[in-house]
């Protein structure tokens, strides 16, 4: 079939494009998750053209359950007019989390208030609902998103890069692989196929209506008083539950040991009996939550990981991995989505500053700016999990603050866009030596 240049394609309604200085840089983004949508929106903000290719055939898919965006990504939302106002009514509103041990005895209550004031707004809500807001905003800004697109191959040469998608060859100046933990773009970047590995843990998770929980004496206090956030910690297991939308909806996750191979399935329907077996001896309130979860709402999700990549960019630096494709995060980091959004904000700035003729330099600078930060943020997922799962609870009772979630300034007070502008010259100088 004949090749398609990106500038031959319509870009939304074009209503916002002519208000910006156009750079002439053409970007293909593979994947319309949070990394891909952020990269696309930010590229439009910086005057680049952007085409997003997504394998899903429609936008009605309710993706997952609860997802958290820290202050570092919250400030990216704040730059998108109208988005914070749409997020506000669907996001969790609570200034603390209550930690119990596995038997239900209170350990510690951690408050967030001052941290939010210092670092900025955070957003926790249903993944699918937040995703739909970003998806619609991207369309409004002039991003073209094609659904039902199966990318079978990535390619590059000295002058351009592209993909083979549904049999068509599509070209651009750069391609961003935002196609998740099972990314095809990783093969091109690495030169071989690195399969995901079991992390040794899995998660039972659910999102559901809270009406029945409100009727039960063991669970009603978690939903009838508005939004709440509660955690139970035990030997090699932690269970987190949150009510949302003024207590009308409820989400929970249970992280536990699981050594099954990921080839058995990455995500599958959950089993109530197995979940309760894993939680044997735990607080009856936890068992009530599990038992009252509708069968169709319970998901068994294997936590997979990949070895840290030596690089995120292809040999000719025309293709870059972003988000989970580059750096999968454990949920206990509470930073996977935020770091994916930081990737999108940073790479759009780098492309703007490098210019069309130096697009490969932009991708190299992006990696140099982001690599060490992301690697350090990834480690926080392991340290938090181990702090909870390997805790000596006799010591925890003497020092309850030891199980606090760290709210670190270097992570939460970061501005990816401003950082890219401020550090561009220094990073470029380093790359040229």
CATH number at residue 79: 3.50.50.60
| pLDDT at residue 5, as a whole number | 38
Assess whether pLDDT exceeds 80 at residue 266.
no
Percent of the chain topping pLDDT 90 = 69
> Does residue 289 fall inside a structural domain?
yes
Do residues 296 and 419 share a domain? no
| pLDDT at residue 99, as a whole number | 96
Confidence of residue 20 (pLDDT cuts 50, 70, 90): low
CA atoms of 71 and 49, how far apart (whole Å): 28
Residue 281 corresponds to which tokens in the numbers above?
Answer: 């001896």
Compute the radius of gyration of the chain from its Cα atoms: 22
Mean pLDDT over 116-124 rounds to 85
Do residues 86 and 213 share a domain? no
Examine the fold and report which residue of 280, 305, 330 is the final residue of a domain before the chain moves on: 305
> Does residue 371 fall inside a structural domain?
yes
Do residues 365 and 316 share a domain? yes
In the predicted model, what is the mean pLDDT of the chain? 89
Confidence of residue 49 (pLDDT cuts 50, 70, 90): very high
The domain that contains 277 carries what CATH number?
Answer: 3.30.9.30
Do residues 322 and 288 share a domain? no
Assess whether pLDDT exceeds 80 at residue 116.
no
> Does residue 41 fall inside a structural domain?
yes
| pLDDT at residue 11, as a whole number | 33
Do residues 77 and 213 share a domain? no
| pLDDT at residue 399, as a whole number | 92
Instruction: Quote the domain boundaries for residue 64.
Output: 26-91+121-194+308-432
| pLDDT at residue 4, as a whole number | 35
Q: Which of 207-216, 332-341, 384-393 has the lowest mean pLDDT?
A: 384-393
180: left (phi over 0), alpha (psi -120 to 50) or beta: left
| pLDDT at residue 415, as a whole number | 97
Do residues 239 and 294 share a domain? yes
**SS3 per residue for the chain:** CCCEEHHHCCCCCCCCHHHCCCCCCEEEEECCCHHHHHHHHHHHHCCCEEEEECCCCCCCCCCCCEEEECHHHHHHHCCCCCHHHHHHHHECCCCEEEEEECCCCEEEEEECHHHHHHHCCCEEEEHHHHHHHHHHHHHHCCCEEECCCCEEEEEECCCCEEEEECCEEEEECEEEECCCCCCCHHHHHHCCCCCCEEEEEEEEEEEEECHHHHCCCCCHHHCCCCCCEEEEEECCEEEEEEEECCCCEEEEEEEEECCCCHHHCCEEECCHHHHHHHCCCCCHHHHHHHHCCCHHHCEEEEEEECCCCCCCECCCCCEEECHHHCCCCCHHHCCHHHHHHHHHHHHHHHHHHHCHHHHHHHHHHHHHHHHHHHHHHHHHHHHHHHHHHCCCHHHHHHCHHHHCCCCCHHHHCCCHHHHHHHHHHHHHHHHCC
CA atoms of 182 and 191, how far apart (whole Å): 15
CA atoms of 387 and 291, how far apart (whole Å): 28
| pLDDT at residue 17, as a whole number | 38
Q: For residues 281 and 58, which has the higher predicted lDDT (pLDDT)?
A: 281
Mean pLDDT over 396-411 rounds to 88
Mean pLDDT over 144-171 rounds to 95
| pLDDT at residue 265, as a whole number | 53
Please identify every residue annotated as catalytic.
205
Confidence of residue 79 (pLDDT cuts 50, 70, 90): very high
Contacts (Cβ under 8 Å, ≥6 apart) of 28: 6, 50, 51, 52, 53, 161, 162, 163, 170, 172, 174, 175, 176
Q: For residues 12 and 222, which has the higher predicted lDDT (pLDDT)?
A: 222
The pTM for the full model equals 0.91
> Does residue 214 fall inside a structural domain?
yes
Percent of the chain topping pLDDT 70 = 92
Assess whether pLDDT exceeds 60 at residue 7.
no
| pLDDT at residue 201, as a whole number | 87
| pLDDT at residue 394, as a whole number | 86
CA atoms of 135 and 427, how far apart (whole Å): 32
Do residues 312 and 425 share a domain? yes
Do residues 323 and 425 share a domain? yes
Q: What is the pLDDT of residues 215-242, one digit of tens each?
A: 999 999 999 999 999 999 999 999 999 9
Assess whether pLDDT exceeds 50 at residue 12.
no
> Does residue 312 fall inside a structural domain?
yes
| pLDDT at residue 309, as a whole number | 85
> Does residue 320 fall inside a structural domain?
yes
Task: Count the domains in the chain.
Answer: 2
Examine the fold and report which residue of 305, 320, 352 is the final residue of a domain before the chain moves on: 305
> Does residue 375 fall inside a structural domain?
yes
| pLDDT at residue 1, as a whole number | 32
Assess whether pLDDT exceeds 70 at residue 119.
yes
> Does residue 153 fall inside a structural domain?
yes
Examine the fold and report which residue of 305, 338, 353 is the final residue of a domain before the chain moves on: 305
Do residues 276 and 386 share a domain? no
The CB density around residue 287, as the number of other CB atoms within 10 Å, is: 17
Do residues 364 and 293 share a domain? no
């Amino acid at each position: 079939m004949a090749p398609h240049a990106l500038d031959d394609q319509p870009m939304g309604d074009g209503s916002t494009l002519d208000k910006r200085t156009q750079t002439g840089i053409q970007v293909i983004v593979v994947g319309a998750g949070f990394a891909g949508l952020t990269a696309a929106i930010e590229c439009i903000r910086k005057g680049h053209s952007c085409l997003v290719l997504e394998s899903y055939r429609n936008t009605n898919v309710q993706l997952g359950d609860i997802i958290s965006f820290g202050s570092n990504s919250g400030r990216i939302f704040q730059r998108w007019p109208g988005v914070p106002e749409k997020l506000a009514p669907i996001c969790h509103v609570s200034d603390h989390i209550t930690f119990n041990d596995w038997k239900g005895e209170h350990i510690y209550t951690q408050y967030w208030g001052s941290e939010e004031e210092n670092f900025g707004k955070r957003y926790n809500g249903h993944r699918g609902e937040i995703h739909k807001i970003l998806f619609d905003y991207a369309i409004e800004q002039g991003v073209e998103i094609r659904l039902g697109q199966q990318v079978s191959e990535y390619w590059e040469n000295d002058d351009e890069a592209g993909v083979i998608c549904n049999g068509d060859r599509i070209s651009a100046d750069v391609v961003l692989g935002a196609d998740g933990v099972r990314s095809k773009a990783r093969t091109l970047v690495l030169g071989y196929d690195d399969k995901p590995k079991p992390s040794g843990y899995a998660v039972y998770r659910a999102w559901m209506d809270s009406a029945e929980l409100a009727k039960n004496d063991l669970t009603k206090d978690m939903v009838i008083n508005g939004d709440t956030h509660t955690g139970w910690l035990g030997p090699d297991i932690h269970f987190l539950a949150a009510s949302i939308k003024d207590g009308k909806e409820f989400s929970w996750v249970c992280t536990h040991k699981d050594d099954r191979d990921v080839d058995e399935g990455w995500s599958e329907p959950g089993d109530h009996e197995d979940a309760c077996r894993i939680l044997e001896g735990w607080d009856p309130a936890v068992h009530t939550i599990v038992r009252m979860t509708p069968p169709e709402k319970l998901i068994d999700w294997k936590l997979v990981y990949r070895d840290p990549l030596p690089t995120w960019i292809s040999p000719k630096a025309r293709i870059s991995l972003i988000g989970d494709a580059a750096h999968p995060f454990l949920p206990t980091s509470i930073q996977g989505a935020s770091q994916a959004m930081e990737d999108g904000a940073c790479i759009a700035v780098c492309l703007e500053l490098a210019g069309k003729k130096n697009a490969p330099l932009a991708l190299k600078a992006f990696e140099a700016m982001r690599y060490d930060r992301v690697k350090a943020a990834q480690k926080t997922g392991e340290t938090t999990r181990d702090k909870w799962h390997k805790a000596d609870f006799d010591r925890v009772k003497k020092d309850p603050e030891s199980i606090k979630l760290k709210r670190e300034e270097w992570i939460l007070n970061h501005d990816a866009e401003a950082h890219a502008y401020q550090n561009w010259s220094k990073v470029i100088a380093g790359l040229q030596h």
